[in-house]
Amino acid sequence: MNKLISWYNQNRKKIWITLITGLGLFFIAWRLFFMFDLNNGSDNIDYMEDQISDNLNSITLSSGKSAISNERVDLDKEGITTIDNFISYCNSGNLQEAYKLITDECKEEMFPNINRFQEIYYQKIFGNGRRNIKIQNWNGNIYAVDFSEDALSSGVYSTEDNIRDYITIVTNKEKKIFLNINGYLGRKTYNKTTQTGNLKIVLKRKDSYMNYEKYTFEFINNSGNEILLGKIEEDDNISYLVDSNNIKYSAAINELTESQLTISGLQTKNLQIKYFNPYVTTKNIKGLVFSKIYLSYNAYKAYQNKSLYKDYGNVYISL
């Protein structure tokens, strides 16, 4: 033991220099490896972006980053190619092939036939000729698509007719890719049933758009009384969405009539209601409310003093 201590004391300086040098070389090597790996990953991402861009005919990929987070995202090569094909068909006036690439839900909501697609979408964007198109990932499978004038074909450069659309890439059960266009994001099916008094309410589905949502309901009146979902002049009490922060998003009552909100005795009625709920990635809608339902509207109308009427119902549907 004494010999070991004596040897250490004699060689202490050399031992510590060797240890410190070794640790220093190790950290340098580790850092170089990390930097190489990081750069290699970046090169792979850039290569993927270049590979996608090289195979596009009608659109330009403006960035490999999400417009929302400003972070690089995994680009959907097949989905972007489908957007490119859709734009190519539109630019060449091949509406039949372009229409085939739209989801059934999107057609059902906005374009039930190819003539409506031509009137609502094609004429608005491509009616004056070919377009130059840049796309960027917005969030997830949603892409921002910017249409600008093709100065070469029109002979005039102008930004007045620039249009932005949001196109969503959808893969169906058969792994085939289709598109939701014109700001339509997609559909969620609920088929949730709740009841207040003799009124059964079935929430069938939700169709989401960039600027709002539409909910489709089935109302089943099991009584002989006329039921009113809410009075137009009391629009805050008819229906609204509520998020996890208890913020309310009102229904577009101005688009409805009292007749639409009335369920006759023993009637079953389907009704679609729009809610002012624009797409925000951090928002969490937790419920849907009908807060003041007139369960016997005939009786309400018969009252001279309306304040005496008390037969109200209310419904909260968890989402």
- Per residue in 179-234, pLDDT (tens digit) is 999 999 999 999 999 999 999 999 999 999 999 999 999 999 999 999 999 999 98
Using the structure block, give the residue that is written with the tokens 């990953």: 41
Domain membership of residue 312 as a residue range: 186-318
- pLDDT confidence bin for 74, thresholds 50/70/90: confident
Does 176 map to a domain? yes
Q: Is the pLDDT of residue 263 over 60?
A: yes
Does 51 map to a domain? no
CATH at residue 307 = 2.60.40.1240
pLDDT tens readout for residues 124-171:
999 988 889 999 999 999 999 999 987 555 555 556 679 999 999 999
Average pLDDT of span 19-43:
57
Does 252 map to a domain? yes
Does 265 map to a domain? yes
Residue 255's pLDDT is what?
Answer: 94
Does 64 map to a domain? yes
For the entire predicted model, the pTM comes to 0.82
- pLDDT confidence bin for 47, thresholds 50/70/90: very low
167 and 190 housed in the same domain: no
Q: Alpha-carbon distance 26 to 317, whole Å?
A: 60
Percent of the chain with pLDDT over 70: 80
144 and 192 housed in the same domain: no
CATH at residue 111 = 3.10.450.50
Does 20 map to a domain? no
137 and 205 housed in the same domain: no
Residue 236's pLDDT is what?
Answer: 82
- pLDDT confidence bin for 121, thresholds 50/70/90: very high
Q: Alpha-carbon distance 187 to 193, whole Å?
A: 18
Average pLDDT of the chain is 87
Does 282 map to a domain? yes
107 and 148 housed in the same domain: yes
Looking at the structure of the chain, the number of domains it has is 2
Residue 40's pLDDT is what?
Answer: 53
